[in-house]
Copies of this chain bind each other. A is one copy, B any other.
């Protein structure tokens, strides 16, 4: 049966050009080709095999990751891959590793916060991996509150050095990836002290380990912080703990692009604007949003294919049973997630544009859009990662019992994904920032300050407070303007109402604290509007390919109308729509499910994931699930012997009523 496509009957139903959709998903033909080439490169190389991951103990698992990282680097060098290609290759290797932090945090920190001189010294070493770096910010006692970090960097004018020190247990660095076992260097964030004065938290390049024998340098204690969620998952990463006992580094290892410490220990602000760091944040978060669409689409691809393979109930007289994807409850859980994958993809694409825009403005000393861009990326990071984490688990449940097997790929996908809700800003803390920005924006509306970018709609707040939704039939919900207005009105009304409630408090900070849960809801409404509106914008573009736009339109409406259903309380309590209109939206949603149904498999094929990358027996391209599940089972170490280890010591004495004498 090898080679048979068990999903061919599904693929034959497709009503659009899948190859064209692949380009849309990838963003461009070039992006598609690079991804496709790198994915195949990884998939065809036995050195990157990953299906044994959950069966390895921690040490083996980790060693295996070191091997893959070295192999990947070797391939990158041998094939002279571009930066873009190298990045894609690492993505498809699909295993958290110290290299992620080296390329993703250490190098960007030096680029963003180092002086030209520092960049010239350190970047070439990092680019060649002659040093390996990590990003050591979080401590045992402080993560979200970066200003509360306790590590100190005290300038010693006598030796022209900084003394890096961990004064308390809670000041130990805790979590940095790559720190525990591998990094030779770190950017360490510490409280700058000079001449007995505090100058806030800054980054310092600190060598951690000897380049000769890899042993921690004097005064430095480092270790791994132990097992994390899941089996393989993030346990391939050496998240570490780090304690400094008065470790000395030269003065020129403080990252001084913004603030410089002179030979005398004076602090001098450079002429580089502090706001630059926001640029970096926008960059990091846009890539997290892009990653969300990838993780979500992987889960959806697995659940969709398996839902077409799995049959349960509904057979008349022993005939063939119903594919579970044909149950409306299954569709109602699955299709909005499929739509979300596309929605997040497009909003991620737009964020990439936003980052370019912000960068250009920064270079022109235009900071006017920064607060809005910052709030927007914070909010979208929170929204997309929370939704994706929940969605992966829902996809697992959509696969019934078999979803619980590691062979389904979903448990590990979940375990490896969920920290995205916490790192780079706890999702609730981020929403509170968005809420703060919205409240401020609303409060300034009267003053004539025009809201920009994603908050521009708030400039039409008077209209939005009064407008009425004129949906009268289910089809009326298929108008972009109708959907957009409903989402704008809901968000605007929530923001205004919350701001009014706040104004009842004498002390605005007390009010903000007391009403923070409500405020977070307004922030969510605002962020959902952004996603919906960017999806609608996308549809205004010219999109080539037979039937492609039609599918995307259906997905866009599924995304929006499903949100409308799930957050109906918001829409009704603000009077944006009526219960009757809500019920029409629901009718329309069901009809959209039927339209998407024959295209579901093709819509996940368009992600162009290899079976290697998916890592799921349930999500196999060919749908040949059962024989492969069966084969896979036998690989478990427990099946090495028919009679298990421990039978003679523990089970037999039980069965033979001889426990009393057994040594347990």
Residues of A within 8 A of B (CB): 47, 54-59, 62-63, 66-67, 69-71, 73-74, 77-78, 128-132, 138, 140-145, 148, 169-170, 172, 174-175, 180-182, 184, 211, 213-216, 223-231, 234, 238, 241, 311-313, 315, 321, 327-333, 389, 393, 396-397, 400-401, 403-407, 411, 414-415, 418-419, 421-423, 426-428, 432, 513-518, 520, 565, 567-575, 579, 582-583, 586, 590, 626-627, 629-630, 632-640, 642-647, 649-655, 657, 659-660, 662, 664
B646 and A66 contacting across the interface, CB-CB below 8 Å: yes
A643 and B419 contact, Cβ closer than 8 Å, known pairs A231-B231, A517-B329 = no
Contacts of A579 in B (CB 8 A): 572-575
The smallest beta-carbon distance between A69 and chain B, in angstroms, is: 7
B55 and A227 contacting across the interface, CB-CB below 8 Å: yes
A226 and B569 contacting across the interface, CB-CB below 8 Å: no
Contacts of A172 in B (CB 8 A): 630
Bound together, the chains give a CA A418 to CA B411 distance in angstroms of 11
Bound together, the chains give a CA A662 to CA B66 distance in angstroms of 13
A637 and B57 contact, Cβ closer than 8 Å, known pairs A228-B406, A313-B145, A662-B74 = yes
Q: Closest chain B residue to A389 by CB distance?
A: B393
B644 and A586 contacting across the interface, CB-CB below 8 Å: no
A148 and B226 contacting across the interface, CB-CB below 8 Å: no
A70: contacting residue among B333, B513, B638, B650, CB under 8 A: B650
The smallest beta-carbon distance between A404 and chain B, in angstroms, is: 5
For the A-B complex with A74-B659, A170-B626 known, give 4 more contacts whose Cβ atoms are closer than 8 Å. Answer: A57-B637, A174-B629, A181-B638, A225-B405
Bound together, the chains give a CA A574 to CA B213 distance in angstroms of 71
Contacts of A170 in B (CB 8 A): 626
A59 and B638 contacting across the interface, CB-CB below 8 Å: yes
Contacts of A224 in B (CB 8 A): 633, 636, 638-639
A229 and B67 contact, Cβ closer than 8 Å, known pairs A397-B421, A659-B77 = no
A215: contacting residue among B573, B636, B643, CB under 8 A: B643
B664 and A71 contacting across the interface, CB-CB below 8 Å: yes
A138 and B401 contacting across the interface, CB-CB below 8 Å: yes
Q: Closest chain B residue to A313 by CB distance?
A: B145
A629 and B568 contact, Cβ closer than 8 Å, known pairs A328-B516, A637-B59 = no
Bound together, the chains give a CA A531 to CA B657 distance in angstroms of 45
Report copies per complex.
2
Contacts of A54 in B (CB 8 A): 227
18 A-B Cβ contacts within 8 A? A57-B57, A70-B654, A74-B664, A132-B655, A140-B626, A145-B313, A148-B313, A169-B627, A213-B643, A214-B647, A224-B633, A225-B633, A329-B428, A333-B428, A397-B422, A400-B422, A404-B422, A568-B573
Bound together, the chains give a CA A153 to CA B63 distance in angstroms of 49
> Which of A216, A427, A569 has the most C-beta atoms of chain B within 10 angstroms of its own C-beta?
A569
The smallest beta-carbon distance between A653 and chain B, in angstroms, is: 7
A70 and B329 contacting across the interface, CB-CB below 8 Å: no
Bound together, the chains give a CA A400 to CA B425 distance in angstroms of 10
Q: Closest chain B residue to A330 by CB distance?
A: B428
Contacts of A47 in B (CB 8 A): 664
Contacts of A56 in B (CB 8 A): 57
The smallest beta-carbon distance between A351 and chain B, in angstroms, is: 23
The smallest beta-carbon distance between A326 and chain B, in angstroms, is: 9
Q: Closest chain B residue to A65 by CB distance?
A: B646
A226 and B647 contact, Cβ closer than 8 Å, known pairs A129-B654, A181-B638 = no
A657: contacting residue among B59, B69, B128, B393, CB under 8 A: B128
B140 and A328 contacting across the interface, CB-CB below 8 Å: no
A586 and B646 contacting across the interface, CB-CB below 8 Å: no
A144 and B400 contacting across the interface, CB-CB below 8 Å: yes
The smallest beta-carbon distance between A630 and chain B, in angstroms, is: 6
B62 and A638 contacting across the interface, CB-CB below 8 Å: yes
Q: Closest chain B residue to A406 by CB distance?
A: B227
The smallest beta-carbon distance between A410 and chain B, in angstroms, is: 8
> Which of A73, A411, A654 has the most C-beta atoms of chain B within 10 angstroms of its own C-beta?
A654
B229 and A404 contacting across the interface, CB-CB below 8 Å: yes
Contacts of A141 in B (CB 8 A): 311, 626
Q: Closest chain B residue to A410 by CB distance?
A: B229
